[in-house]
C-alpha cells in the first residue's frame, strides 16, 4: 500500500464523522501524524475498545458496556416516569440538567419517511411494551423540535394514549437570559402557544 493511499484512507475515515469535510479531515490527519502521535494512538485504542464493548441496554436501548445500563439499575430512580429521547446524546443532555430522576427510553433515531425510517425502525413496539408494563404512569416525550422530531412525538403520543398512558411533551420557549429580538420567530411563536399562568 502506498504512502498516499494510507494517508487518504485516514482522511476518508475521519470524513465519516458528522460535519467533517475533506479540509477538516485532512487537517486532523496531518495534525495527529505531525504533532500528536500519542493522541492518535489513544484515539485508535479508545475507538477499538468502544466499538467492541459498547452495546444497547436491554431496557432503555441506550449505550452501555453491560446488559442493563447503570441508569436502569439505579434504585433511586422514579420508575413511574419514562423520558423518551432520540439519542444517547439527548439523554446525556437531560441528565446534565439534574432536573429529571426518572428512567429513559432511547429511540436511536426518529421517524423520517424521506430517509426511510418508520415507526418500526425506532423501536416503537419495545417502547409501547415498556410504557404499558403497569409501572410507568407518565411518558415524557423529549424528541427534538424538528419536523421529524415533532412527527415522531405525534406518532408516539397517539400510540401511548390508546394504551391509557399519560403523555407529556417538553415545553418549548424562550431560553433563559435571552432577549426577544435575538430569538428566532418559531421559538417565540411556540412560547406564545405554550404560555402558562404567571
All structural domains of the chain with their residue ranges: 1-52, 75-167
Q: Which of 57, 46, 193, 173 lies closest to 123 in space, CA to CA?
A: 57
Q: Which residues are within 8 A (CB) of 131 and not within 5 positions of it... i.e. 6 or more apart?
A: 82, 105, 139, 160, 163, 165
**1-52 placed in CATH 1.10.8.420:** yes
Tell me the C-alpha distance between 33 and 23, whole Å.
Answer: 15
Tell me the C-alpha distance between 186 and 192, whole Å.
Answer: 10
Q: What is the pTM of this model?
A: 0.81
CATH architecture group of domain 75-167? 3-Layer(aba) Sandwich (3.40)
| CA 116 to each of CA 41, 113, 138, 148, 158: distance values in angstroms, whole numbers, following the listed order | 37, 5, 29, 12, 21
The helix or strand, by DSSP H or E, that contains position 38, with its residue range, turns out to be helix 37-53
SS3 of 44-74: the string is HHHHHHHHHHCEECCCCCCEECCCCCHHHHC
Task: Give buried/exposed letters for 10-21 (b at 16+ CB in 10 A, else e).
Answer: bbeebeeeeeee
Place of cell 467533517: 20
If you ran DSSP here, which 8-state letter would residue 116 be given?
Answer: T
Per-residue pLDDT of the chain (198 residues; tens, 9 = 90+): 666 789 999 999 999 999 999 999 999 999 999 999 999 999 999 999 999 999 999 999 999 999 999 999 999 999 999 999 999 999 999 999 888 999 999 999 998 888 888 888 888 889 999 998 889 999 999 998 888 988 999 999 999 999 989 999 888 776 777 776 777 787 777 777 776 664
Amino acid at each position: 500500500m502506498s504512502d498516499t493511499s494510507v494517508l487518504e484512507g485516514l482522511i476518508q475515515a475521519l470524513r465519516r464523522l458528522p460535519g467533517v469535510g475533506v479540509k477538516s479531515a485532512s487537517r486532523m490527519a496531518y495534525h495527529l501524524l505531525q504533532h500528536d502521535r500519542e493522541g492518535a494512538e489513544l484515539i485508535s485504542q479508545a475507538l477499538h475498545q468502544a466499538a467492541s464493548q459498547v452495546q444497547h441496554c436491554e431496557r432503555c436501548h441506550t449505550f452501555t458496556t453491560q446488559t442493563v445500563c447503570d441508569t436502569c439499575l439505579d434504585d433511586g430512580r422514579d420508575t413511574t416516569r419514562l423520558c423518551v429521547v432520540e439519542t444517547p446524546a439527548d439523554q446525556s443532555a437531560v441528565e446534565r440538567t439534574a432536573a429529571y430522576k426518572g428512567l429513559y427510553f432511547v429511540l436511536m433515531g426518529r421517524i423520517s419517511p424521506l430517509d426511510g425510517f418508520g415507526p418500526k425502525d425506532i423501536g416503537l413496539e419495545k417502547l409501547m411494551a415498556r410504557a404499558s408494563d403497569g409501572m410507568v404512569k407518565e411518558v415524557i416525550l423529549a424528541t427534538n423540535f424538528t419536523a421529524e422530531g415533532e412527527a415522531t412525538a405525534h406518532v408516539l403520543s397517539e400510540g401511548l394514549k390508546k394504551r391509557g398512558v399519560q403523555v407529556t411533551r417538553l415545553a418549548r420557549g424562550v431560553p433563559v437570559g435571552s432577549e426577544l429580538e435575538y430569538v428566532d420567530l418559531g421559538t417565540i411563536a411556540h412560547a406564545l402557544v405554550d404560555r402558562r399562568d404567571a
